[in-house]
Amino acid sequence: MKTIFDDIQQSVQQAFPSLFGCEVELHSITINETLKEFEGDITLVVFPLLKLSKKKPEETAEIIGKFLIENHASIASYNVIKGFLNLVLKDDFWISFITSTNKPTIPSKNETVLIEYSSPNTNKPIHLGHVRNNVLGYALAGIFKANGYPTIKANLINDRGIHICKSMLAWQKFGNGETPENAGMKGDKLVGKYYVEFDKHYKQEIENLIQQGKTKEEAEKQAPIFLEAQAMLLKWENGDQEIVDLWKRMNAWVYAGFEKTYKNLGVDFDKYYYESNTYLLGKDIVDEGLQKGVFYKKENGSVWIDLSADGLDEKLVLRADGTSVYITQDLGTADLKYKDFKMNRSIYVVGNEQDYHFKVLKLILQKLGRPYADGIQHYSYGMVDLPSGKMKSREGTVVDADDLMDDMIVAAKEQTEALGKIDDFSEEEKQALFKTIGLGALKFFLLRVDPKKRILFDPKESIDLHGYTGPFVQYTYARTRSILRKAIEIKTSETTQNFSNYQLHSTEKELIKTLYRYAIVLGDSCKEMNPAKLVDFAYELAKTFNKFYNDCPILAAQKEEEKYFRLLLNEQSGETIKKCFAIVGIDVPERM
């Protein structure tokens, strides 16, 4: 989508031969928003052009500035500060941006993007770490879609492997027929309970073996319960009916639990994949790789790839007993995704502890000659910590996603009721508001930080109505809606008001300039794959709107044209906040 920045950049490029007798590359013309301490709206950085202009910075800037004043209808004036040409746009430009009904649209792209996120294990419920994954994945998909890319949201369910067998075995041994129904517990939580139970008995058996003279490493491999879990995995892979039936039953409990969590969190998927279906495809790819000489087999029958020439090391792709490893099933899933969607880009939203794994996956698929291999991207993100320390699933010290969301909703309820502004709300309206605020606070806190950075999640800070938070932005949106309800008799969309002589207040102009940046920020957040840019913009817009609200009377404006124009500004500010939040999966309340 073309902006005034692009327009001026192209004008300078086209004028360069007549001004300086030579051509200039577009990328050499740097255009930025003018810093707040200087007069201007747009700044041209002159220094990269001096080799071509063969003139001093100030002289080069003066020549370009005079040309733009004479040839560009939107520019009112300019000033030169050393090697910077600051351009002031006419009020007409900013006013027409707000009053025009023909807003520019983002063109559709011909590049399909598949984003895989969530990817839970069926041996435990979704926890705080998974929440960041889900929130990031959903937001990233929303950003690509808003930028015109056909986008597919995929979820690979890790429903097989030794960790699943640990829960199954513990339930067999210690469950006494417990079910989600008779326990009054969500299915994913029940299965997670037995994953913790397995670990408790496993540790005790290791301790017993160490006391009998075994080393810790020997004890970990020889503990009877661990050997039973390994035997169960082999039985499952060989299709043992009793084990397969138990696996189906317990997984069904987990899927039902996951769906409740996803619905509550407000995330969804276009396609589900299951490792139990894809690991066999991966084994076929291993056979293909052996035939092509990409893989090699060791004496014990295990299959490997040597990536030392690529700066990595040797990697196991199939165990000696014929069972698959993570990379095996990822190879199979990658092929299946491409068969289903022919995507150009395949983005994996997975924590940064798997950085090495995805380097290996991409490299293997490139060596196998897969057409989609170059489009693989690992969207690596940092972990989430709590004031109490790191979470561990097998020890039962994780913060469960359902409990976390409930706690955030309770915190939102307490804060909102303390303000005493919802007495006229029905009970249903109150509960919907508490959820909107609570989950908005959680998502905003997780999204506002660069994804690569580790987060210390502070629930109390996240819910603060006056801080750098989701509720602050939500409150600002609700304020814009309140103003529109009060002005219901004024139909801004039908006004014939003429703004040709309208004089912009400095805060009005500041707000319009912020609104103008929306499309630019949306594009940048996609290029950089960083939702933090978009939620930070929403926060900056909310701050600027509140300054405008305090500086510029809207309904109490002295002149009718001020009232109409400021109502338009109010309406577009609210709609832009709502749009930003909708893209990343955050709701906004009409009243608050």
Tens-digit pLDDT profile for residues 409-443: 999 999 999 888 898 999 999 999 999 999 999 99
Write the CA distances from 284 to 115, 290, 325, 364, 369, integer angstroms: 24, 10, 13, 14, 15
Phi, psi at 231, each rounded to 5°: -65, -35
Sign of the four-CA dihedral 144, 146, 150, 155: positive
Is a pLDDT exceeding 80 seen at residue 343?
yes
The number of angstroms, rounded, from the C-alpha of 228 to the middle of its chain's C-alpha atoms is: 40
**In CATH, 401-584 is 1.10.730.10:** yes
User: How far apart are the C-alpha atoms of 22 and 12, rounded to whole Å?
Assistant: 12
Query: What is the structure's pLDDT at 395?
Result: 47
Query: What is the structure's pLDDT at 215?
Result: 96
pLDDT digits (tens, 9 = 90+) for 237-253: 899 999 999 999 999 99
Half-sphere exposure of 588 (CA within 13 A, CB side): 25
Average pLDDT score, the chain:
93
84-89/42-45 β-pairing: antiparallel
Is a pLDDT exceeding 70 seen at residue 485?
yes
The DSSP result for 216-280, as a single string, is HHHHHHH-HHHHHHHHHHHHHHTT-HHHHHHHHHHHHHHHHHHHHHHHHHT---SEEEEHHHHHH
Query: What is the structure's pLDDT at 212?
Result: 96
CB 396 within 8 A of CB 198: no
Query: What is the structure's pLDDT at 283?
Result: 92
Band (576; pLDDT cuts 50, 70, 90): very high
Query: What is the structure's pLDDT at 38?
Result: 94
The number of angstroms, rounded, from the C-alpha of 53 to the middle of its chain's C-alpha atoms is: 43
**In CATH, 113-385 is 3.40.50.620:** yes
Q: Which two tokens stand for residue 403?
A: 């409990």
Q: What stretch of H or E contains 44? A: strand 42-45
Q: Which two tokens stand for residue 167?
A: 């829960």
CA 384-390-393 angle, 5° bins: 95
CA 370-374-375 angle, 5° bins: 105
Provide CATH 3.40.50.620 ranges for the chain: 113-385
Band (397; pLDDT cuts 50, 70, 90): low
pLDDT digits (tens, 9 = 90+) for 269-280: 999 999 999 888
User: How far apart are the C-alpha atoms of 437 and 546, rounded to whole Å?
Assistant: 19
3-state secondary structure of 467: coil
User: How far apart are the C-alpha atoms of 13 and 27, rounded to whole Å?
Assistant: 10
61-75 average pLDDT score: 96
Is a pLDDT exceeding 50 seen at residue 391?
no
Band (123; pLDDT cuts 50, 70, 90): very high
Query: What is the structure's pLDDT at 128?
Result: 87
Q: Which two tokens stand for residue 518?
A: 């929306």
Provide CATH 1.10.730.10 ranges for the chain: 401-584
Sign of the four-CA dihedral 49, 52, 54, 55: negative
63-67 average pLDDT score: 97
CB 408 within 8 A of CB 479: no
Query: What is the structure's pLDDT at 237?
Result: 86
455-456/384-385 β-pairing: parallel
Is a pLDDT exceeding 60 seen at residue 393?
no
Query: What is the structure's pLDDT at 419?
Result: 86
pLDDT digits (tens, 9 = 90+) for 451-463: 999 998 888 888 8
Provide CATH 3.30.1360.70 ranges for the chain: 4-89
Query: What is the structure's pLDDT at 499?
Result: 86
207-227 average pLDDT score: 96
Q: What is the pTM of this model?
A: 0.92
The architecture (CATH level 2) of 4-89 comes to 2-Layer Sandwich (3.30)
Band (48; pLDDT cuts 50, 70, 90): very high
335-353 average pLDDT score: 97
